[in-house]
Structure 1
């Protein structure tokens, strides 16, 4: 399947990455050939170089460069927090109407041969802003509770720490729906049973703004919700309470 290209010029390309697709091949997915880098190389006929990362389960705006120099320049903007990122996510419970999570995060290292991460090194500054868009109350029992409460959020992470959004909302006790690493297993199981289907990580990179490394102008690239995420939103919309 071809990737949905959101923007392309002679220097860079941006796509709407599907959930479940790796950005590049990794030893953690040994034997798995499919990834954004390989797909985009075949699709554009050019070598592409990663600028930033999205978790495998996350969909949305992903930028690649057509040269190592352009990739380094763009990556510098990410490392210096000169980009503006907007995500949407679905979390457990009724979150606050808006808030700022200022909670340092230690580095995570992938453990070879295991689908887990090891905390290493010292903690680094991590700040995430959010506002609640909608609340939902579903007539689905969860653990000892007769109903399920969910919130749809718009989120702006100021840094790009590994799993920053997922770890920050776990810290608030509002873990992301569909998150098998930091999420609530009771919520995930209840929805899988209710809908009789797999449940994706409910996290989408909706918008990314950065300065074009050659033109110097500001670019804002947006990605609409993919069908897999929109289908979940459609299912819970009848139970929206605000």
Structure 2
């Protein structure tokens, strides 16, 4: 093989491609917020001991400094995730979350035509294990307000019905219980599409096979809080990621 053939031959380097940068939604001298994609863990967890990608590490490497998570969102949920840029800042914002002083807004696609608005006031059992499988007898108060944004009906038979109905709903959790929104919507029989833990298996299968939807359709779209160190109100918003928007189009729930 000539020298020219060698330099033009396919590379055998198996170094993984660099991670795409996380979308930064907000940053000041104490805080940073990213748009966490669906499927990314916030930090190392018993949920998947083999996973090597975490939001904390990716963001740390991206901005070149340590970050301190102020809260968490579920792995399959996408949307706004907040970090302190120092330990004091992370702790201060965590306290605001614990004291229910952070206003949170989510969007979800659910099975059925949910009422136009309402409040879900239903206590939830605590989890005894870290991966959220074993429930304890102890319950915690949990409150979620919701507002319907759009509805659709598609010609796919499901269970005993000739069609499939979906709703796009905006949600405002006032407490921060584990899987609160997912469990509350399942409790009132409007489970989130793509929820393999608390949702409807038949609806999820229909969504995969007929609509090419392979994720939990839940996204954190807005947070608002009083800055712990500055005299200002912080409001951070983001639209759902592309996979969520594509699902809205396929379910004919896309709003203008």
TM-score with structure 1 setting the length: 0.93
**Contact 2:168/2:253, CA 8 A, preserved across alignment:** no
Following TM superposition, the consecutive aligned residue runs of length 4 or more in structure 1 with deviations greater than 3 angstroms are 109-112
Correspondences of 1:1-242 after superposition (within 5 Å): 1-110=20-129, 117-195=133-211, 197-237=212-252
CA distance in 1, matches of 2:250, 2:39: 21
- How far residue 216 of structure 1 moved from its aligned partner, in angstroms, is 3.0
Larger CA Rg, structure 1 vs 2? 2
Answer whether contact 2:120 2:144 (CA < 8 A) is retained.
Answer: yes
* Pair 1:140–1:27, CA change in 2 (3 A): same
Note the C-alpha offset of 1:10: 1.7
Label 1:43 to 1:79 Cα distance change in 2 as closer, same or farther (>3 A): same
Taking a change above 3 Å as real, the CA distance of residues 147 and 239 of structure 1, as seen in their structure-2 partners, is farther
Structure 1 vs Structure 2 CA RMSD? 1.6
Structure 1 gap ranges (5+): none
Displacement of 1:109 in angstroms is 3.5
Count of residues in Structure 1 that have an aligned counterpart in Structure 2: 236
Q: Does the CA-based 8 Å contact 2:151-2:253 persist in structure 1?
A: no
What TM-score results when the alignment is normalised by the length of structure 2?
Answer: 0.88
Q: Which runs of 5+ in 2 are unaligned?
A: 1-19
Comparing 10-19 with 141-150, greater Cα deviation is found at 141-150
| Segment of structure 1 superposing worse, 119-128 or 151-160 | 119-128
